[in-house]
Amino acid sequence: MYTSTKACTYLYYPMRTAIIIGAGPAGLTAAYELLEHSDIIPIILESEDSVGGLSKTINYNGNRIDIGGHRFFSKSEVVMKWWQNKLPVESNGDDILLTYHNQHVELKAGSSTDKTGDNAMLIRNRLSRIFFAGKFFNYPLNLSLQTLNALGLKRTVSIIFSYLKSKISPRTPEATLEDFYINRFGKVLYNIFFKDYTEKVWGVPVTSISASWGAQRIKGLSLSKTILHAFLRSSKKRKDIHQKETETSLIEKFLYPKFGPGQMWQVVAEQITRKGGIILKQHQVKSINNGSTAIVSITAINTETNEEIRFDGDFFFSTMPIKDLLNGFLSPLNLRAHEIANKLTYRDFITVGLLLKELKIKNKDGSAIKDNWIYIQEKNVKLGRLQIFNNWSPYMVSDPTKIWIGLEYFCDEGDALWNLSKQEMIELAKTELQLIKIIDKEAVEDAVVIKVPKTYPSYVGSYDEFHIVKTYVNTFENLFLIGRNGMHKYNNQDHSMLTAMQAVQNIKNGITDKSNIWSINMEDEYHEEK
């Protein structure tokens, strides 16, 4: 029900409501779970005109772009089933075990579980490699014969001795990300493959980044584990899509929606609306009205009409950057927490999509390479990573005779790279790929540039004092921070979903302690690397 004044429109609902900021994986999961497990009506406020957040798929002239690359794989059985109940799985011809419609089934080569049509998940083979000194190296690194030949005997020996030294005399305390890497891979391998790339991604020295980043993203990965995995995988004749005993960075198969990750979240958004939830796009949060222990309401602006609307609610979920959330508080109660939140930093992201006649790099037999993405370790280019969308799903490309790629650049909003014009950015991308002999410029037929701010929450700046912010926001009993930017935590989409699911369970069970939400992607069972 609407009532209006000159200043603002107020919304009232006859039953309990949850106001959710953001229609990304976390926000949409929270809304869906509320509708499934409670009598609470979710109202999602999304600032953009689309859903999916960082997991949306952008359609450019019939060619689809997956921003950042999203493998649909999780150690969580709950998440795997949740995804497959939204989009059924279509066999790609492999013998494979998977969970389908809540039951374990085995797909035989050439079979299909049902007539899935366009709304389906594909089973994809994972291949990611490092491109360094004009050569391919396995990612994650292992000391295979191919790697040894590419590195050379002298460098290989120094890597082995350096690694053994790191095991005998590890760095303690493990305070920085440099310490973390050296303890697991040795100093020589760290200097060759980790240092420069990490600084390209984050824009700061590795010694300035907390070891917490490594503890979240690659906790269980080490040189010894990659070698063991390479040895064991040759003896496995059949793959379980769950791959529970495999480090996530070493998984060999994953699920992927036919038309990119955004397809999943469009389906979820449609289901939320059908179940009675409300999704309001182009509604930008302006302010948060808070009491001493609870949030009272949120005021948002409809960016189409410029109308201000106040949303009263019983519960509030936020996936927006926490610094922006606290800046919107009308009654700051802890100025120190607000100051720390305001100094949190983020890394921003530019994707350049290029439609090509062909790639110069091919397999030894002349066939097309099958990499999902390639990590570019060359020091003479700014390019960080290269996606080949054809290999994520053939349905991502309108013309199967063409190659559709995405070049990923890491930057800070407002810096020189971010401020390049569209044409300058396209020219940089083409020039760099030609420089490292991946394409010829003449092969480019079309191009697009997409800029995404606040893509990666950084573990630098005021992050060391983030616990003060977390303690402060937890004092608001009806406020739940979920998702990557909502928690300033480098979560994958499955971790973001799990934070939303746990928050809904807490509401359902009357649990006020939010530590179980914050522990997701910190406890072993939630780690990317178990």
> CATH code at 48?
3.50.50.60
The verdict on 224 and 310 lying in the same domain is no
Instruction: Give the separation between CA 87 and CA 223, rounded to whole angstroms.
Output: 36
pLDDT the model gives residue 218: 60
**Could you tell me the two tokens for 434?**
């030609």
Instruction: Tell me if 217 sits within 8 A of 205, measured CB to CB.
Output: no
Residue 170 lies in a domain: yes
Looking at 457, 478, 498, which one is the last position of a domain? Answer: 457
Instruction: Give the separation between CA 141 and CA 186, rounded to whole angstroms.
Output: 12
Residue 97 lies in a domain: no
Instruction: Give the separation between CA 477 and CA 296, rounded to whole angstroms.
Output: 11
Looking at 407, 424, 457, which one is the last position of a domain? Answer: 457
The verdict on 386 and 314 lying in the same domain is no
The verdict on 340 and 464 lying in the same domain is yes
Looking at 433, 457, 481, which one is the last position of a domain? Answer: 457
Instruction: Tell me if 458 sits within 8 A of 486, measured CB to CB.
Output: no
User: Any bridge partners for residue 278, and if so which?
Assistant: 43
CA distances from 511 to 42, 55, 508 (A): 19, 30, 8
Q: What is the DSSP letter of 190?
A: I
Residue 248 lies in a domain: no
The verdict on 220 and 321 lying in the same domain is no
**Could you tell me the two tokens for 446?**
């079309």
The verdict on 339 and 464 lying in the same domain is yes
The verdict on 480 and 331 lying in the same domain is yes
**Could you tell me the two tokens for 337?**
């927490």
CA distances from 47 to 298, 329, 339 (A): 14, 18, 25
CA distances from 96 to 252, 255, 259 (A): 12, 12, 22
CA distances from 78 to 235, 291, 486 (A): 29, 35, 22
Residue 155 lies in a domain: yes
Instruction: Give the separation between CA 44 and CA 12, rounded to whole angstroms.
Output: 15
Residue 91 lies in a domain: no
**Could you tell me the two tokens for 305?**
């009409």
The verdict on 439 and 383 lying in the same domain is yes
Instruction: Tell me if 284 sits within 8 A of 443, measured CB to CB.
Output: no
The verdict on 426 and 474 lying in the same domain is no
The verdict on 171 and 152 lying in the same domain is yes
pLDDT the model gives residue 419: 98
How many of the other CB atoms lie within 10 Å of CB of 262? 23
Q: At what angle do helices 335-342 and 466-473 cross, to 10 degrees?
A: 120
Instruction: Tell me if 451 sits within 8 A of 418, measured CB to CB.
Output: yes
**Domain encompassing residue 357:** 346-457
Q: Which residue has the tokens 């349905």?
A: 395
Strands of the 373-376 sheet, one edge to the other = 135-138, 128-132, 373-376, 385-388, 403-411, 346-356, 444-457
Instruction: Tell me if 425 sits within 8 A of 449, measured CB to CB.
Output: yes
Instruction: Tell me if 83 sits within 8 A of 260, measured CB to CB.
Output: no
Segment holding 351, helix H or strand E: strand 346-356
Residue 180 φ/ψ, nearest 5 degrees: -60, -50
Euclidean distance between the first and final Cα of the chain, in Å? 48
Instruction: Give the separation between CA 208 and CA 317, rounded to whole angstroms.
Output: 32
CATH of the domain at 414: 3.90.660.10
Instruction: Give the separation between CA 22 and CA 360, rounded to whole angstroms.
Output: 41
CA angle 444/448/453 to nearest 5° reads: 140
pLDDT the model gives residue 449: 98
The verdict on 453 and 466 lying in the same domain is no
User: Any bridge partners for residue 347, and if so which?
Assistant: 456
pLDDT the model gives residue 521: 82
SS3 370: coil
**Could you tell me the two tokens for 248?**
């996530």
pLDDT the model gives residue 15: 82
Question: Residue 198 CA to chain centroid, in angstroms?
Answer: 17
pLDDT digit string (tens) for the chain, length 530 residues: 434 444 566 665 668 999 999 999 999 999 999 999 999 999 999 999 999 999 999 999 999 999 989 999 998 999 999 999 999 998 655 544 454 334 444 443 333 444 457 999 999 999 999 999 888 988 766 666 677 777 888 888 898 899 999 999 999 999 899 999 999 889 998 998 889 899 999 999 999 888 877 666 665 555 555 544 444 444 454 445 554 444 444 468 899 999 999 999 999 999 999 999 999 999 999 999 999 999 999 999 999 999 999 999 999 999 999 999 999 999 999 999 999 999 999 999 999 999 999 999 999 899 999 999 999 999 899 999 999 999 999 999 999 999 999 999 999 999 999 999 999 999 999 999 999 999 999 999 999 999 999 999 998 889 989 999 999 999 999 999 999 999 999 889 999 999 999 999 999 999 999 999 999 987 444 333 33
How many of the other CB atoms lie within 10 Å of CB of 77? 12
Query: For 115, what's the count of Cα atoms within 13 Å in the CB-facing half-sphere?
Result: 0
CA distances from 44 to 82, 90, 344, 515 (A): 20, 31, 25, 24
The verdict on 133 and 269 lying in the same domain is no
Residue 254 lies in a domain: no
Residue 60 lies in a domain: no
Instruction: Give the separation between CA 468 and CA 463, rounded to whole angstroms.
Output: 10
Radius of gyration of the chain (CA): 24
Residue 243 lies in a domain: no
**Could you tell me the two tokens for 103?**
């039951």
Instruction: Give the separation between CA 383 and CA 287, rounded to whole angstroms.
Output: 38
Segment holding 428, helix H or strand E: helix 422-435
Number of domains making up the chain: 3
Q: State the greatest distance between any 2 C-alpha atoms of the chain, in Å, as a whole number.
A: 77
The verdict on 331 and 474 lying in the same domain is yes
Q: What is the sign, positive or negative, of the torsion defined by CA atoms of 496, 239, 132, 153?
A: positive
SS3 227: helix
